Amino acid sequence: MKIFNSLLLLFAISITLFSGCKDDDPKPFKPMVELQISHEWNDSNLNLNKSYYWNHDSRIDTIIPTTLIYHINHLSLHTQDSIKIHADQTYYMIDYGDKKVLPSNISFTAPKEGVKYYITSLEFTLGVSDSLTNSLGSLNSLFIAPMYWGMIQGYINFKFEALSPQAPNSALIYHIGGYTKPYTNSRKVRVVFDKPYYLNQENTLTISANLLKLFNSVNQIDIKTNDLIHSPNDNSVLIADNMAKLFGFKSFK
């Protein structure tokens, strides 16, 4: 009987050890985050070649966006422990008309496995701030359609074109760039979340880009007098200041 009880005990121990080493046990992982940008006009999804309206100063301006392309670089997620999780690439370009993000979708990979990350904000540069990158045109081989003026003026940080019957020539052309004083027109952007979010193995962060704020945020833009910008100048600084206010937190899943 003692031998039988001993065999039962050994059998129970072996079953316990085997069940504790199953392949479906949780494994440490490096969290990944994909960034999506919801382009909007106020509370509506932004569609190119569609009419949108801006009520201000006792008048209504009609704006029909036709082109939206911009550089978004040096992205990083910030945790409540002051850790920075950098994007997988340094430089990206968004071509909203072609529904493309070049050279790939914007994603982040946390540096370590088995660490609990709680992210609280996103930071990035809107435009190309690096002087050497601007002067050498070193991003031209990275993007299919580079927005490049030349080594003197560098990259176009933000290209927005639209039709408007209120504009003098019925069109708006905002090509915003410049990387030397007094027209250093890239902008730092910080999007603060509504609360800390724990990173699972796969996550999706969505931010909004409200194009109405291009005309009405830090500065109010009168399209009757500010309709054409195709080189760095004083008016380009006004638009650049507004560019930085386009973005806000939308959701995390």
Give the span between the Cα atoms of 202 and 29, in whole angstroms: 10
What is the reported pLDDT for 7?
A: 44
Q: Where do runs of H (alpha helix) occur along the chain?
A: 2-19, 131-136, 234-243
**165 within some domain:** yes
Question: Which residues, 6 or more positions from 130, have their beta carbon under 8 angstroms from its beta carbon?
Answer: 179
Report, as an integer, the average pLDDT of 240-251: 97
Two tokens at 190? 């910080």
**21 within some domain:** no
Name the 3-class secondary structure at 8: helix
**103 within some domain:** yes
**66 within some domain:** yes
Report, as an integer, the average pLDDT of 127-139: 94
- Tell me the pLDDT tens digit for each residue of 100-123: 999 999 999 999 988 899 999 999
Count the domains in the chain. 1
Report, as an integer, the average pLDDT of 63-80: 97
What is the reported pLDDT for 144?
A: 76
DSSP codes joined into one string, 85-139 = EEBSSSEEEEETTTTEEESS--EEE-SSSS---EEEEEEEEES---HHHHHHTTT
Give the span between the Cα atoms of 244 and 241, in whole angstroms: 6
Two tokens at 18? 């085997």
**50 within some domain:** yes
Report, as an integer, the average pLDDT of 142-161: 91
What is the reported pLDDT for 21?
A: 47
Question: Which residues, 6 or more positions from 79, have their beta carbon under 8 angstroms from its beta carbon?
Answer: 85, 117, 118, 119, 120, 196
Whether pLDDT at 18 is above 80: no
Give the span between the Cα atoms of 175 and 51, in whole angstroms: 21
Mean predicted lDDT score pLDDT of the chain: 90
**158 within some domain:** yes
What is the reported pLDDT for 106?
A: 98
**13 within some domain:** no
Percent of the residues in the chain that have a pLDDT greater than 70, as a whole number: 90
The pTM of this model reads 0.86
Name the 3-class secondary structure at 211: helix
The distance from CA 100 to its chain's CA centroid, rounded to whole angstroms, is 13
**210 within some domain:** yes
Whether pLDDT at 19 is above 80: no
What is the reported pLDDT for 43?
A: 85
What is the reported pLDDT for 4?
A: 47
Parent domain of 214: 31-252
pLDDT-based confidence at 145, cuts 50/70/90?
A: confident
Q: Which range, of 15-29, 34-48, 82-96, averages the lowest pLDDT?
A: 15-29
